Amino acid sequence: MGQKFSILCSQSSTKSKSTSAKMKKPNIAVMYFPGNNCETETLKAVKAAGMNGMIVRWNTKLNLSEFDGYIIPGGWAYEDRIRAGAIAAKDPVMNAIRKEAGKGKPVLGICNGAQVLIETGLVPGLKDKVEMALAPNINPFISGYYNTWVRVKNVGRKGAFTNALGKDEVLHLPIAHGEGRFVTRDKSLIKTLEKNNQIIFQYCDENGKVSDKFPITPNGSTMAIAAISNKKGNVMAIMPHPERAIFERQVPYSAKTDKKTDNIRIFESMKNYILKK
């Protein structure tokens, strides 16, 4: 009887610990650089996806290794001086994020955050240098800053930010940027990105047909690229703003309710990835 009771207690304890581990919410650092302006809605998206989070300033004294993942939001970090993302990429706090990314932790850069990741070389991350650029937009009607609603197609593998999405699933979300055109001088790099499944989202029409022509691709991006990742898939740079369209009330011609849109699944994928690690 004593042995049986001991086994039952042991099983109960193990189950309790397992359940507790599964229920623990990932803790996300939403990074803030001077000039960012999307940190609040990004934090709301994190919480709507079932994670904990906090806005963390660039000059924080916190130990960033205590967080489970990181998001660099949109805006104009350091006023986009020199070029978009260039100064923030050199900020000492990015060394800490680079270190955590090397451990496999997820890092998401949205719009200006994507520009920062490109400038650090974390994306595409194949060499220890900057391999791509997010160049000024090209479209036939307006130069510079442009905002509109676009559709993007999930064309990548099931990674840290897409595991809750279906293959070839189409998302409807906004863009708002002046330098969002993925380009590179290395002619072989795009083929390498395709081979490695590092192209995650491409601009497409409402039926999922990818096109690099305006207005489907709003900025002239190479191969209609809207988002790319590093080779491991745990760091992603995306130009459109999923955090601005996570509730139906935020989407044109939709019901004005707090029902979540499919865009929330980018953040839910991040949560899934952390919990499975």
Q: Please, what's the b/e burial string for 109-128 (b: 16 or more CB within 10 A of its CB; e: otherwise)? A: bbbbbbbbbbbbbbbbbbee
Secondary structure class of 11 (helix, strand, coil): helix
> 228 with 200: CB under 8 angstroms?
yes
Residues forming the active site: 111, 241, 243
Cis peptide leading into residue 174 (ω within 30°): no
Amino acid code (one letter) for 208: G
Half-sphere exposure of 184 (CA within 13 A, CB side): 20
DSSP 3-state of 15: helix
The closest of 82, 206, 234 to 149, measured between CA atoms, is 206
